[in-house]
Amino acid sequence: MGFYISFGTVLLLLAITAPLALLFGFGGAMAARSHFPPLSWIGRGYIAIVRGVPDIAFFLFFVIALDQGFEWARHKVLCPEWTDPIRQGNDFVVCAAAKMPLSSSPQWMHETYGFSLAVLTFSIVFGAFAANVLNGAMGAVPRAQVETAEAYGMSHRQTFWRITVPQMWVYALPGLSNLWMVLIKSTPLLFLLGVEDIVYWARELGGFKTARFTAYPHPDWRMWYFLALLVFYLGFTRVSEIVLTRLTNKLSHGQATTGGEAQRRAEA
Amino acid sequence: MNCWQTIQDYGLRSLGYGERLLPRSDFTLCDQFTLIGSGMIWNVYFGAIALVTGFFFATLLAVGKASHNRLARKSSEWFIFLFRGSPLFIQFFFAYFLFLSLKSVSPFFNPLSSAGMGALVVLFLNTSAYSAEIFYGALQSIPKGDVEAADAYGITGVPRFRRILWPTMLRLAWPAYTNEAIFLFHATTLVFFSGFPAWRQKGDALYYANYFADKTFNPFIPYPILAGYFILLTLIVIGLFGVVNKRLNRHLPKEQRRKIRYRPQLMR
């Protein structure tokens, strides 16, 4: 049963992470293009660091780092009278009230907390990639459009929101669709973050079972379980590919790009 | 124990030489630098060998995909789709369990269930598929004039490919291929987290970084060290590929040469 639910987990992760990463990306791109230097340094730094390092290292890093960050913040607020250092040798000690989630809370709280940490981690990492794509797309909006807006006396902010943002999506779409494919293909990494996802269940259920532990003894079937996962992902990416191609066709309709021009020619 | 001693004990630990036991407590910065650096040997080994062998297979696949022979075209297309459409992580898992069950068929397959050989095979196939797509794209964008000129001189068949098409294909594909190489190195960190056992704790860089993070419960030291090593590796790869790029472009006037831009194609 858990095996089938875990497919839902993957889809849920995708459904939450995609918009959240887009939001992070938008914020990052805005920061990177800002005219206020410290903000633009933060934006650029965020994009540069996350892209330069293996993503798996980031996943492993952020889960612990975020967890400790939350607990540290709660520790500071909830138990100000605590004087012992938090890092005692190889241990990370916070007071009982600051534990996330509280050790008395039920099992599903722990699972939800682990899942939301995973979502946040995915969003931070993919937000940086999205920021890069959106930054490029904002730069790709024809200069003449921005100049016209300036000629009409729009402020910098107005130009950005009314001219650049509505027009950049066509330019961002190829990059974003690539990102979506990558996001799909990175969902098995949930396993490394300690969420009971499809990889976990495939290992559990497929493993060697003797009659002593279960009513359905079977030899090692993990190979077949992973073959099923392989097929699942292949199907998923194929469907996404088809949908995204259609979307691109639709969006480039009537645009002053090569794609739009080709469509116009084909119709004429 | 001074640092030189640590380097002697653990410098080749990932290959099984030196001290048998990993350090258990009182981790010094030197310990972490040495062991994670020692793990990098595996990352370089996987990446370099898969890249060199994959290069030839990728050329073959790209030619197959561009050929008029239906059988060759279809089989290369399917191969590329299979490996680009599914997550590398799942491919590792599936391959590992496949090799395990092959082991019982014939002892010939024994070495494949160890990380050193089995993961290398998967990485080889995977990078071949990704590079083949890049090469195929380049093959499609070879200037028509070059081919016509070859025809005019009466160069056909294999000589035409070897002397006209192939160098131009490489020249066009090289910037994208550089990024593929960088990401192949990043992808090698997945090996020891995907079923392949780290026998006697001989793992790669991320394996050791994860070990330290688990033991000290402090991710802020080992992961940045790992990141530093990978940034160094990335710079080396960019440098080496830059030399080749220069050679491929040496006949062109300066302003036509294409610079390698670091544009990651993200993870698999």
Asked if residue B54 belongs to a domain, the reply is yes
Place B51 in a pLDDT band, splitting at 50, 70 and 90.
very high
Q: Let me know: does A19 contact A205? Beta carbons within 8 Å.
A: no
Task: Give me the residue from A92, A186, A223 closest to B101, CB to CB.
Answer: A223
Q: How many domains does chain B have?
A: 1
A88, β-bridge pairs: A91
Task: Give me the residue from B25, B86, B218 closest to A234, CB to CB.
Answer: B86
CB contact under 8 A, A226 and B267: no
| Per-residue buried b or exposed e for A122-151, using 16+ beta carbons within 10 Å of the residue's own CB | bbbbbbbbbbbbbbebbeebeeeebeebee
| Residues of chain B above pLDDT 90, percent | 19
Radius of gyration, alpha carbons of chain B: 22
Residue B186 C-alpha, separation from nearest chain A C-alpha, in angstroms: 5
Structure-model confidence comparison of residues A160 and B14, the more confident one: A160
Please give the CATH number for the structural domain made up of A2-198: 1.10.3720.10
Asked if residue B261 belongs to a domain, the reply is no
Q: Look at residue A207 in the predicted model and tell me its pLDDT.
A: 65
Asked if residue B151 belongs to a domain, the reply is yes
Q: Look at residue A1 in the predicted model and tell me its pLDDT.
A: 64
Domain with B46 in it:
3-13+22-256
Chain B interface disruption, residue of A6, A49, A60, A87, most B CBs within 10 A: A60
We report the CATH number of the domain holding residue B162 as 1.10.3720.10
Q: How far is A228 from A231, CA to CA, in rounded Å?
A: 5
Asked if residue B135 belongs to a domain, the reply is yes
Residues contacting A37, CB < 8 A, separation 6+? none
Summarised one tens digit per residue, pLDDT across range B158-180 is: 888 888 889 989 988 888 888 88
Q: Let me know: does B136 contact B62? Beta carbons within 8 Å.
A: yes
Q: Look at residue B216 in the predicted model and tell me its pLDDT.
A: 77
Q: Is B267 a residue whose pLDDT tops 50?
A: no
CB contact under 8 A, A188 and B90: yes
Low-confidence ranges of chain A (pLDDT < 70): 1-2, 50-53, 80-105, 194-197, 206-220, 253-260, 268
Mean pLDDT on B26-47: 85
Q: Look at residue A124 in the predicted model and tell me its pLDDT.
A: 84
Contacts of B229 in chain A (CB under 8 A): none
Q: Look at residue A85 in the predicted model and tell me its pLDDT.
A: 62
Asked if residue B262 belongs to a domain, the reply is no
Angle at A236 between CA B195 and CA A168, to 5 degrees: 115
CB contact under 8 A, A51 and B223: no
Place B265 in a pLDDT band, splitting at 50, 70 and 90.
very low
Structure-model confidence comparison of residues B190 and B61, the more confident one: B61
Q: Is A223 on the interface with B (CB under 8 A)?
A: yes
> What's the gap between Cα B226 and its chain centre?
17
Q: Is B52 a residue whose pLDDT tops 90?
A: yes
Q: Look at residue A135 in the predicted model and tell me its pLDDT.
A: 83
φ and ψ at residue A171, rounded to 5 degrees: -75, -30
Summarised one tens digit per residue, pLDDT across range B100-154 is: 888 877 777 777 777 778 889 999 999 999 999 899 988 888 888 888 888 899 9
Q: Is A91 on the interface with B (CB under 8 A)?
A: yes
Structure-model confidence comparison of residues A103 and B229, the more confident one: B229
Q: Is A61 on the interface with B (CB under 8 A)?
A: yes
Contacts of B91 in chain A (CB under 8 A): 230
Summarised one tens digit per residue, pLDDT across range A64-116 is: 778 777 777 777 777 766 666 666 555 666 666 666 666 666 777 777 777 88
Q: Let me know: does A175 contact B65? Beta carbons within 8 Å.
A: no
Q: Look at residue B75 in the predicted model and tell me its pLDDT.
A: 93
Q: Look at residue A105 in the predicted model and tell me its pLDDT.
A: 66
Complex ipTM: 0.71
φ and ψ at residue A91, rounded to 5 degrees: -115, 155
